[in-house]
Amino acid sequence: MTKYDYLVVGAGLYGAVFAHEAAKAGKKVLVIDRRPNIAGNVYTEDIEKIHVHKYGAHIFHTNDQKVWEYVQNFAVFNRFTNSPVANFHGELYSLPFNMYTFNKMWGVVTPEEAAEKIEEQRREAGIKEPKNLEEQAISLVGTDIYEKLIKGYTEKQWGRPCTELPAFIIKRLPVRLTFDNNYFNALYQGIPVGGYTKMVANMLAGAKVQEGEDFGTGEAPVDDAGSIEVHVGVDFFDAEGAPREDLKALADKVVYTGAIDAYFGYKLGYLEYRSVRFETELLDKPNFQGNAAVNYTDRETPWTRIIEHKWFEFGKDDDGNDIPKTVISREFSSEWKPGDEPYYPVNDEKNGRLYEEYKRLAEAEDNVIFGGRLGEYKYYDMDKVIASALDMCGEVL
């Protein structure tokens, strides 16, 4: 006998939004995740009252008013603005490239002077048809910005010299002739106060997060209509890597937000990802770098950036008290291999073709919806994944 209307595999944003809307529409929903926690990649772990972004720094930003209003139902957002700092051998520059950057680099004061300086450097380089990424970058912003702010960072990210990278990777390099170091051109931006995990828990209606498979207990009613039950530490796949029929039988329909190639036992081959490794440290000092993100743009420093998590929420705990310690994460670009945590889908032709083949198999699966960044093998920002889940809800609920 079917107990649930939906089994949602994955308690990340896609799964949580879908579960919330389904329960609001009167459905009984079971959510499982193989990790020991909810929230997927936006999971924030509390360390010394600091909400640590365990799977990479996440800044919510969107131009979609509907999504912005939607997330307000689950969290209060602070006024965090992403303004990374570049550290080149100890010289600090403001990012993205703007008047603060140009003033520090060349001592120019007016936008006209900055524009002239960039033009002068481009002219001097005399590159007409860029043959690689280095030439492309220099032809766009000149030598100084390239050498100090682009070269080392890009080489660390791609693990190759810029002269060996294709020019098309950099189509344009936005240059702002204003004193504006707000990284995102988004209408709305912020971080949920209390961390993303709390926001996702609210989407899941505050259901008790249970470890293991004691299904049928701990459901949370939603609007007196449907309900959500959450179990972590439960893998949808069995030891052989096939979808578990006993779990599927628990519900009429499955919403699957794991990797699409994994669902089919990688039978057509592995989809590739770009990966990143984090080294996180708790420091016995209140302030390490004075900013949430500092990019290390020289080639010699092995990490690409350091995140100091407390500054996403301005260094205070939930009661407004200053926090005497700090947590930092160094990020290292790394090659992905099967079995590693998948981070960024590689949207090149080869992987695109393979995904299309998996998608055809997915379309032939009865009663399974494939969604989210892994299910659709697509780089989604948070707002886009929420919008996509809401669209799906509109279609099927």
Residue ranges binding ligand FAD (CB under 6 A): 9-15, 32-35, 40-42, 56, 58-60, 235-237, 257-258, 276, 343-344, 372-374, 380-383, 385
Our answer to whether residue 274 is catalytic in this structure is: yes
**C-alpha 169: how far from chain center:** 20
Buried b / exposed e over 276-311, threshold 16 CB at 10 Å, is bebeeeeeeeeebbeebbbbbbbeebebbbbbbbbb
Instruction: Compute the least distance from the CB of residue 257 to ligand FAD, in Å.
Output: 5
Q: Is 381 a catalytic residue?
A: yes
- Phi–psi pair at 396, nearest 5 degrees: -105, -15
Q: Which of 34, 274, 277, 299 does the annotation list as catalytic?
A: 274
Of 96, 181, 130, 152, nearest to 302 by C-alpha is: 152
Q: Report in angstroms how near the CB of residue 263 gets to ligand FAD at its nearest.
A: 8
Phi first, then psi: give them for residue 79, nearest 5 degrees: -100, 30
Distance CA(6)–CA(267), nearest Å, equals: 26
Q: Which is nearer to ligand FAD, 89 or 337 (CB)?
A: 337
Q: Give the span between the Cα atoms of 286 and 150, in whole angstroms.
A: 30
CB of 267 to ligand FAD, least distance (A): 16
Closest to ligand FAD by CB, 107 vs 212, is: 212
Task: Please pick, among 270, 343, 344, 379, the residue that the annotation labels catalytic.
Answer: 379
From the CB of 12, what's the least distance to ligand FAD, in Å?
2
Q: Distance (Å, rounded) from C-alpha 89 to C-alpha 205?
A: 48
Nearer to ligand FAD, 166 or 174 (CB): 174
User: Side chain identity at 59, as an amino acid letter?
Assistant: I
227 exposure class (CB count in 10 Å sphere: 0-12, 13-18, 19+)? buried
Return the C-alpha torsion angle 373, 379, 383, 387, nearest 10.
Answer: -60
The pair of structure tokens assigned to 176 is 């702002």
Cβ closer to ligand FAD: 142 or 375?
A: 375
21 is catalytic: no
Nearest distance from C-beta of residue 254 to ligand FAD, angstroms: 11
Q: What length is written for the chain?
A: 397
Judged by CB, which is closer to ligand FAD: 97, or 380?
380
361 close to 354: Cβ distance less than 8 angstroms = no
Q: Which is nearer to ligand FAD, 226 or 345 (CB)?
A: 345
Tell me if residue 34 is catalytic: no
Q: Which is nearer to ligand FAD, 321 or 347 (CB)?
A: 347
Of residues 305, 355, 358, 383, which has the active-site annotation? 305
Q: Which two tokens stand for residue 265?
A: 């036992």
Say whether 305 is catalytic. yes
CB of residue 343 vs ligand FAD: minimum separation in angstroms? 4
Q: How far apart are CA 98 and CA 178, in angstroms?
A: 6
Q: Identify the active-site residue in 219, 298, 331, 383.
A: 331
- Calpha distance 313→193 (Å, rounded): 7
Selecting among 172, 214, 319, 348, the annotated active-site residue is 172
Contacts of 147 (CB under 8 A, 6+ apart): none
Q: Are 49 and 282 in contact (CB under 8 A)?
A: no
Measured from the CB of residue 25, what is the shortest distance to ligand FAD in angstroms?
19
Residues marked as catalytic = 172, 176, 274, 305, 331, 379, 381
